Structure 1
Amino acid sequence: MQSIKGKKALVTGGSRGLGKAIALALANEGVDVAITGRNKNTLEETVNEIEKLGVKATYSVFNVADKGEVKKEIETLINSFGAFDILINNAGIAAFGSFIEMDEDEWEEIVKTNLFGPYYVSKAVLPSMVDLGSGDIINVSSTAGLKGNAVTSAYSASKAGLIGMSESLMFELRKKNIRVSTLTPSTIASEMSKDVLKITDGDPDKVLQPEDFAELIVDMLKLNKRALLASASLWSTNP
């Protein structure tokens, strides 16, 4: 396996939960990390934790669903922090309710954040990866994108769309030595999943933890550059 020490990574939604676990796992491998989010205070706190691991860290406050903000802030990050070797499209939101009753604006916001967000961020980061002649993009989808369920229409639609976009991008970019992978985890214990666990009577201590998923991402990035794990599902053993 190759070392990823000294590389630069961008983790969207990196200030808490799954994104924070990913950022810290990368930092433990010697990766300089930039994180994004919408809360300046939590971003600053996480950057302080990352820096204690002996790597460089920074943050940017923006909404991934806002095309203008994404383009401006990613350009600023690249100019100040350097071109990114790794992009983890992790930022996402969820809300659950019946198709008929869910507010149309809420349905649209979920799709814009979970599908258009990774599109906007990838589009902003990719030119510099192409210039470098290498890179890794990991898109965090969900098992809900593999199979729809009652009350998950918006979330499942957004994550299914991300799977399709990500797979197409994988075929397009591997010829440029850029690896694109799609991960579809089952429920991970986090602030975002608490409603799902209530609905399913799930035990937060028995489902996947953010650190489990972060370990998988690190291992994928360490694969020899000739190897590409295009997609993978990670499930709780006995939730």
Structure 2
Amino acid sequence: MSNLKDKTAIITGGGQGLGKAVAIALAQEGVHIGLIGRNEEKLKATLAELQALNVKAYYSVCSVDDEQAVIKSVAELAEVLGGIDILINNAGIGNFGSIESMPSDEWQQVIKTNLFGPYFTAKAVYPYLQAKGAGDIVNVSSTAGLKAGGNMSAYAASKAALISLSQSMMAEWRKQNIRVITLTPSTIASEMSINGGLTNGNPETVLQPEDFAEWVRDILKMNRRALIANGSIFSNNP
């Protein structure tokens, strides 16, 4: 197992939910953290928890669907952290509804955030990983990207496209010793899932953000020979 201590990680959607849980799990391993998110109050709260773990931690307010803002945020965080070793492409939204009822602008926004966002962020981070000759990119997709259901056309389409994008990244960037990991979790008790009515968050049957964070941490600690593609983790809820 690899040692993560003193590595640096950029985490999108890092102010809450899965992103926050991953940030804390990695900080407990001694990883220095750069957070990207839209809600500054939540970013500040997460930052305080990370700093209490005696790691370097900074944040940048940014919406991942804005390429120029992403480039600026990544550059700022890379400078204060002293480089980048890991990218966790976690930021995402989920507007749910039937194909005929969802407004087209909302449908497009899901695609822009969930697909263009990881593309913009990975593209901005790539030069830093290339310069080091190593790195890890974790793209958080979903089981919905493997098998879609009703009332989730935008979300499922965005997550399926992210899987394909991840495969292309891995094919191109593995040659530079950059490992691209695609994760496809099922329902997790995040704010998005609870607010969207996908789960009641019952910890006895539904995966919690901390479960997901442990999974990410353990995968990153695996030997770099490992190739992890379309990795899934499932809840027990029916």
Separation in structure 2 between the aligned mates of residue 195 and residue 60 of structure 1, nearest angstrom:
25
> What SS does the aligned partner of 2:15 have?
coil
> What SS does the aligned partner of 2:151 have?
coil
Which residue identity lines up with residue 232 of structure 1 in the other structure? G
Are the structure 2 counterparts of residues 77 and 221 from structure 1 closer, same or farther at C-alpha, using a change threshold of 3 Å?
A: same
Total equivalences in the alignment: 237
Q: Quote the residue 2:209 is aligned against.
A: 210
> What SS does the aligned partner of 1:158 have?
helix
1:202 to partner: Cα distance = 5.4
Separation in structure 2 between the aligned mates of residue 95 and residue 204 of structure 1, nearest angstrom:
22
Contact 2:10/2:86, CA 8 A, preserved across alignment: yes
Residue 76 of structure 2 corresponds to residue 76 of structure 1: yes
Contact 2:60/2:77, CA 8 A, preserved across alignment: yes
Separation in structure 2 between the aligned mates of residue 37 and residue 99 of structure 1, nearest angstrom:
28
Contact 2:64/2:120, CA 8 A, preserved across alignment: yes
Residue 65 of structure 2 corresponds to residue 65 of structure 1: yes
Unaligned runs of 5+ in 1: none
Runs of 4 or more above 6 Å deviation: none
Separation in structure 2 between the aligned mates of residue 213 and residue 207 of structure 1, nearest angstrom:
11
Separation in structure 2 between the aligned mates of residue 211 and residue 36 of structure 1, nearest angstrom:
19
Unaligned runs of 5+ in 2: none
> What SS does the aligned partner of 1:98 have?
coil
Q: Quote the residue 1:166 is aligned against.
A: 166
Q: Quote the residue 2:48 is aligned against.
A: 48
- Percent identical residues: 55
Q: What does 1:130-141 correspond to in 2, within 5 Å? A: 130-141=130-141
Calculate the TM-score normalised by the size of structure 2: 0.96
Q: Quote the residue 1:227 is aligned against.
A: 226
Residue by residue over 1:71-128, the C-alpha shift from the partner in whole angstroms, topping out at 9 and shown as x without a partner, is: 1221122122222100000000001001011011100100000000000000000011
Separation in structure 2 between the aligned mates of residue 151 and residue 99 of structure 1, nearest angstrom:
7
> What SS does the aligned partner of 1:87 have?
strand
> What SS does the aligned partner of 1:34 have?
strand
Contact 1:4/1:31, CA 8 A, preserved across alignment: yes
Separation in structure 2 between the aligned mates of residue 90 and residue 207 of structure 1, nearest angstrom:
19
Which residue identity lines up with residue 214 of structure 1 in the other structure? A
> What SS does the aligned partner of 2:191 have?
coil
